[in-house]
Amino acid sequence: MLNNSIFEKQLNQIQIDLIELALEYAKYTVDTVYIYGSNDHNSLFFNEFFKEDGVITEKHKLKVFGSNFAPVELQMKFLDLGMEDFKDLRKLFEIYQGKTLTQLKLVYDVVNKKAHANYSYDSFLSDKIIADHIFNQWIENERNINKIDT
């Protein structure tokens, strides 16, 4: 039980760190944060996108950056920090769960202050499907859901 409570505490802290990183990047101007991480076939991937004013928006196109895209240096620093948190998450699962985490989908609803995470242990990648494809498909799925909701 002690190990489980340690796991839960550390898991919650890493999730908070990931969410806080995204909110800082977006300067707290977004409605929803979508966080994706992949650890599959010896390949690590991390990225995020947002819902801003009801519209699904990629990280470099947020309104907070004006008519210009987000500076590349800022995007790279953001992704590097997120990747470090995702590596910590991966290690946490290996230590306390004895499983290799292959995929994270974490959604944080800023308005209602609610988070929901999906953790997977199955392999999703192949010679034809890479993590970037899955991430981009998730963006498109959310855009389609958003069209239905509006």
- Asked whether 51 and 32 are in contact (CB, 8 A), the reply is yes
Quick check: pTM over 0.95?
no
Q: Which CATH superfamily is domain 2-149 in?
A: BH3703-like domains (3.30.500.20)
pLDDT of 75-108, one tens digit each? 999 999 999 999 999 999 999 989 899 999 999 9
* Confidence grade of residue 2 (pLDDT, cut at 50, 70, 90): low
pLDDT of 26-82, one tens digit each? 999 999 999 999 999 889 999 999 999 999 999 999 999 987 788 999 999 999 999
In the chain, where the domains are located: 2-149
Name the β-bridge partners of 109.
Answer: 32, 114
